[in-house]
Chain A
Amino acid sequence: MRGFNFNLWVGGILTLVVICGAVFAPLLTSLDPVFDANLMNAELPPGREFWFGTDAQGRDIFTRVLYGAQISLTVGVVSQVINSVIGLTLGISAAYWGGWWDDLVNGLTNVMLAIPSLIFALAIMAILGPGLPSLLIALGLTNWSWTCRIARSSTLSLKGQGYVQAAQTLGYGDIRIMATQLLPNMVGPILVISTLGIGAAVLAEAALSFLGLGIRPPFPSWGSMLTNARELIVIAPWATIFPGLAIFITVLGFNLLGDGLRDYLDPHMRTREQ
């Protein structure tokens, strides 16, 4: 096993497959995920024409799963970018400036950690109503506390380093030091937590859509496909199996990739394993 990072490779390949499915969806299928409904084809089992079978409206589940990847990845990546920006900005500035600002950010982080993030997102969705923009806001505002903690502790340990003090002596502005001296030195751990965060956001989107609070039918979100599939689980179990499998593979991909990146970037782990 020496030198071979199983998690990194398998996670990377799974993630790549999902990304390709989302990007090349229009090339991989000629059908439309919403409008190509035909009640004559309703609830057909998987076969040569419909690889994953059809749903209650006779729509091709394979097509809907492919287009569903676009929604899941958009929600996962965009909300995680928002979380990273919030977490990094608050964490770095709190540790760099200290004082009352540090106390405030710390307090806010503790409060955020005290609320289960799915519950918090659910509350925001309840107010904003269903839809993609609300989802991006709800999931983008509720999962930055770990990023903030990591950014804060990295900044605290980097602040005393010679090159940061050199930059201060040279008269660099605070913002410039944070962006060019501090930020690049925490890319590794932030990358790991963000990769894991994308997986978590994909799961949260599926759960919220399943509850009817996320993406609403007829749009092909994996979570809302499962809500509809639930009623026909006895006659059309494939309508439940494939969207769930898609969520599973996507989240597994990001989780393995995150674990693999951590092993790769952490020299301590590497030397111990070799």
Chain B
Amino acid sequence: MLRFTIRRLLQMIPTIFAVALLIFVIFSVIPGSFASSLMSDGRTNADPETLARINAEFGLDKPVHVRFGEYIVGLVQFDLGTSFRFREPVTEVIGDRVWASLKLSVAAMVFAIVVGVPLGFIAALRPGSILDTATMVGAVSGLSMPQFWLGLLLMYFFALQLGWLPSFGYGGGDPLYLILPAITLGVTPLALLARTTRAGVLEIMNEDFIRTAHSKGMSNARVVRWHLMRNVMVLVVTTIGLQFGSMMGQAVVIEKLFAWPGIGLLLVDSVAIRDIPVVQGTILVIVVWFLVINTFVDIIYAAIDPRIKQT
């Protein structure tokens, strides 16, 4: 088990390196520099001397391969460069925002699990019932809906019409401000969890060992608790992990909509003013977050199901 864990953790390193390379390449090969977008007003060309000074200040006058070398050396030391806008280390700028994003993702996931898993379960126990049909129609709708539109509608009803909840902002950490963004972000994983749980339960109920348990006189409640739940949980844990990992990506739009001061909002704002070190840094953090969670899911999975280790 320890060897498997170490091997999976080591496998992450080349992927992170490749992603860092990819991000660096797309931001340095393609035309349009920070200096020119900072100085150009769209009508006249920027003064070449000023451009050269800005480029020198941020080290942008060095050749690409030298800059990439410096970037990787910095990366190994957890140094992501300096933000053009804040004139502060990127790691600090991102560090200030991580907590807000983490809080939002965890709240959204808790909402999705608490509602989605029981819904999928109940739906599967009565296939074809009204509740089952309603759950499945709801799930496919949840997956087809633009999340930010749902967020706008929730904002309209619960904040502006009813006045029950604050419409946007962080509110200094007041949990009331968390409710609407978390529900909005949680709808997609909720729909997926309901679908996965339902499919998993239906699949496993047809398995031989469930029939055996029934036929040896085990009560229904015991079959569900001892055989069904355990097997379905493996599936559900995987879905939760994968969704949790990709949530940071989806959170970008939701954070922008609710003015939630997380990494996603930082990314969108930095893209708008071409603060490239921050853009590279936030994307890298989102990708690493995704990879770390996927690796943990693999490790947990292997701990539950020993057959996986051999592959």
Chain B contributes a number of interface residues (CB within 8 A of A) equal to: 41
Task: Please name all residues of chain B whose beta carbon is closer than 8 Å to the beta carbon of A92 when the two chains form the complex.
Answer: none
Docked complex: A186-239 residues within 8 A CB-CB of B: 199, 203, 206-207, 210-213, 223, 226, 229-230, 233-234, 237
Docked Cα-Cα span, A129 to B153, in Å, equals: 29
Most chain B CB within 10 A, of A122, A124, A259, is at A122
Task: Please name all residues of chain B whose beta carbon is closer than 8 Å to the beta carbon of A248 when the two chains form the complex.
Answer: 141, 144-146, 149
A85: shortest Cβ distance to chain B, in Å?
20
Given contacts A118-B249, A259-B140, 5 further A-B contacts (CB under 8 A): A115-B22, A211-B256, A226-B148, A240-B153, A248-B145
Q: Are A119 and B249 in contact (CB under 8 A)?
A: yes
Docked Cα-Cα span, A233 to B160, in Å, equals: 9
Docked Cα-Cα span, A116 to B263, in Å, equals: 14
Q: Are B290 and A116 in contact (CB under 8 A)?
A: yes
A251 and B144 contact, Cβ closer than 8 Å, known pairs A127-B30, A233-B160: yes
Task: Please name all residues of chain A whose beta carbon is closer than 8 Å to the beta carbon of B141 when the two chains form the complex.
Answer: 248, 252
Nearest 3 CB-CB pairings of A with B: A116-B249, A244-B149, A252-B144
Q: Are A234 and B160 in contact (CB under 8 A)?
A: yes
What secondary structure prevails in chain A residues at the interface with B? Answer: helix
Docked complex: B266-311 residues within 8 A CB-CB of A: 267-268, 271-272, 274, 279, 283, 286-287, 290-291
Which of the residues B146, B252, B272, B286 comes within 8 Å of A206, measured between beta carbons?
B146
Q: Are A240 and B26 in contact (CB under 8 A)?
A: no
Q: Are A233 and B286 in contact (CB under 8 A)?
A: no
Task: Please name all residues of chain B whose beta carbon is closer than 8 Å to the beta carbon of A128 when the two chains form the complex.
Answer: 30
Docked Cα-Cα span, A207 to B144, in Å, equals: 13
Task: Please name all residues of chain A whose beta carbon is closer than 8 Å to the beta carbon of B18 when the two chains form the complex.
Answer: 107, 111
A123 and B272 contact, Cβ closer than 8 Å, known pairs A114-B19, A233-B155, A252-B141: no
Task: Please name all residues of chain B whose beta carbon is closer than 8 Å to the beta carbon of A207 when the two chains form the complex.
Answer: 146, 148, 253
Query: Is B239 an interface position by the 8 A CB rule?
Result: no
Q: Are A255 and B253 in contact (CB under 8 A)?
A: no
Task: Please name all residues of chain B whose beta carbon is closer than 8 Å to the beta carbon of A38 when the two chains form the complex.
Answer: none
Q: Are B15 and A212 in contact (CB under 8 A)?
A: no
